């Protein structure tokens, strides 16, 4: 039975809302850091780096199996992998086990379902590529706020406190159950369904018969691909540094603040990230790639400068402002990737092309680890803020170099 395409979109938002909890690492890791006091900041940060690397592998696997495996199986298999990952991570007594469970399995599961959701739902919205990417990724973006608040409420932390183990187990159970149900609402569109909604007819009036159809081999030979790819690495690395160290930045600027307050403020990144994804997805549709990319880079760099000022002045209210702004502008990254790939290279090869573009995370994910190493070396998160400012500035160079697709 075919349903209204917005029903499918809603199922996609719910799915990504849960799959995006891997981005809540800065909050999820706090009880672990209090329990494993001998682990360094760099060791903890490496968990998130591995998670993002396996997110790329999962996204690639999802793209390569898109035409061979039913999308319902994609979603449900991801749920099973999430359960296995959190089950293993919840029993960790060494970094290696945490890397396997949370880093490898949960990261792979998140990327696997991420590709399935975006490639399926973008097919239902050929007329609104930027907007639907933003709406779907809003769920992915606000996940860490919702998860962080729930986790904070039910997971006391401290030396010798193991409540995080039960929380990880129940995360796995809930993810497996909800993704099994959401899998029922994943149906790939066909021409008849799109025509019945008037989407194909509208697209043809706009010249959709001339839409690009560029495969992966041709895509990677284009300078525009590599320039855009480098832009995503610069912005992604800066964003990963923020996400992985947000809790520490807030604590350094406001050491007197309660743990609950810290979690709420860190959650602002997630909330505004979600809003930014919708805003910049829509901006991409209306104003195009160049305006969107430049706005993201400039805005993020200035927002990171606000965080640097917050640390220098020990002004917690500037942390609140900086987190909100950083989250908002960083939110422009992912919908830009999805919309750019679809608009520039066409929908036919989108699943694989999209997964190849997302390989930027293999490099960008080290932003979190580098930020952890900078803190270990300097004893302050000011170095992280400077790293983020640098990422925003470098992204502008690549954005300005792209002349044509």
Q: For residue 13, is pLDDT > 90? A: no
Provide the domain count of the chain.
1
Among residues 130, 145, 191, 169, the alpha carbon closest in space to that of 341 is found at: 130
In this structure, is residue 184 part of a structural domain? yes
Q: For residue 25, is pLDDT > 90? A: no
In this structure, is residue 1 part of a structural domain? no
The 10 Å CB-count burial string (b at 16+, else e) for 373-382 is bbbeeeeebb
Contact by Cβ (8 Å): 113, 15: yes
In this structure, is residue 285 part of a structural domain? yes
In this structure, is residue 361 part of a structural domain? yes
Three-state SS at 281 = helix
In this structure, is residue 207 part of a structural domain? no
In this structure, is residue 206 part of a structural domain? no
Q: What residue spans of 38-70 are helical by DSSP H?
A: 41-64
- Section 299-320 average pLDDT: 93
In this structure, is residue 260 part of a structural domain? yes
Please report, for the domain that includes residue 150, its CATH number: 1.20.1250.20
- Check residue 200 and give its pLDDT: 58
Query: What span, in angstroms and rounded, lies between the C-alpha atoms of 323 and 381?
Result: 14
- Check residue 236 and give its pLDDT: 92
DSSP annotation of 222 reads S
- Check residue 202 and give its pLDDT: 47
In this structure, is residue 72 part of a structural domain? yes
Q: Model confidence over 57-116: pLDDT tens digits?
A: 898 888 888 777 788 888 999 999 999 999 999 999 999 999 999 999 999 999 898 888
Q: Find the range with the poorest average confidence among 239-243, 258-262, 360-364, 398-402.
A: 258-262
Query: What span, in angstroms and rounded, lies between the C-alpha atoms of 276 and 359?
Result: 22
The range of the structural domain enclosing residue 68 comes to 7-200+212-401
């Amino acid at each position: 039975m075919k349903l209204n395409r917005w029903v499918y979109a809603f199922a996609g938002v719910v799915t990504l809302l849960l799959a995006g909890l891997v981005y809540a690492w800065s909050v999820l890791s706090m009880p672990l850091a209090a329990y494993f006091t001998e682990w360094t900041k760099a060791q903890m940060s490496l968990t998130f780096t591995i998670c993002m690397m396996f997110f790329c592998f999962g996204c690639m696997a999802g793209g390569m199996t898109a035409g061979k495996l039913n999308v319902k199986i994609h979603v449900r298999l991801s749920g099973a992998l999430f359960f296995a990952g959190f089950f293993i991570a919840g029993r960790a007594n060494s970094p290696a086990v945490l890397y396997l469970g949370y880093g490898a399995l949960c990261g792979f599961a998140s990327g696997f379902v991420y590709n399935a959701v975006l490639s399926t739902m973008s097919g239902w919205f050929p007329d609104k590529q930027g907007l639907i990417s933003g709406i779907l990724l809003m769920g992915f973006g606000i996940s860490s706020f919702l998860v962080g608040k729930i986790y904070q409420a039910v997971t006391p932390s401290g030396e010798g406190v193991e409540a995080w183990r039960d929380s990880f187990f129940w995360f796995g159970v809930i993810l497996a159950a909800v993704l099994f149900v959401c899998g029922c609402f994943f149906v790939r569109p066909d021409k008849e369904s799109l025509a019945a909604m008037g989407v194909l007819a509208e697209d043809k009036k706009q010249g959709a018969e001339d839409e690009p159809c560029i495969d992966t081999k041709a895509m990677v030979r284009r300078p525009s691909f590599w320039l855009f790819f480098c832009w995503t690495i610069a912005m992604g690395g800066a964003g990963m540094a923020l996400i992985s160290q947000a809790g520490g930045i807030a604590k350094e600027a406001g050491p007197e603040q309660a743990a609950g307050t810290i979690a709420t403020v860190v959650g602002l990144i997630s909330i505004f990230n979600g809003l930014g994804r919708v805003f910049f997805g829509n901006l991409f549709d209306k104003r195009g790639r160049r305006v969107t990319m430049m706005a993201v880079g400039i805005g993020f760099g200035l927002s990171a400068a606000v965080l640097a000022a917050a640390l220098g002045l020990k002004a917690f209210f500037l942390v609140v402002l900086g987190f909100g702004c950083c989250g908002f502008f960083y939110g422009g990254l992912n919908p830009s990737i999805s919309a750019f790939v679809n608009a520039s290279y066409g929908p036919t090869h989108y699943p694989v092309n999209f997964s190849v573009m997302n390989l930027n995370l293999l490099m960008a994910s080290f932003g979190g680890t580098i930020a952890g190493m900078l803190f270990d070396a300097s004893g302050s998160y000011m170095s992280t803020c400077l790293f983020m400012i640098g990422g925003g500035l470098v992204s502008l160079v690549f954005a300005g170099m792209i002349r044509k697709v």
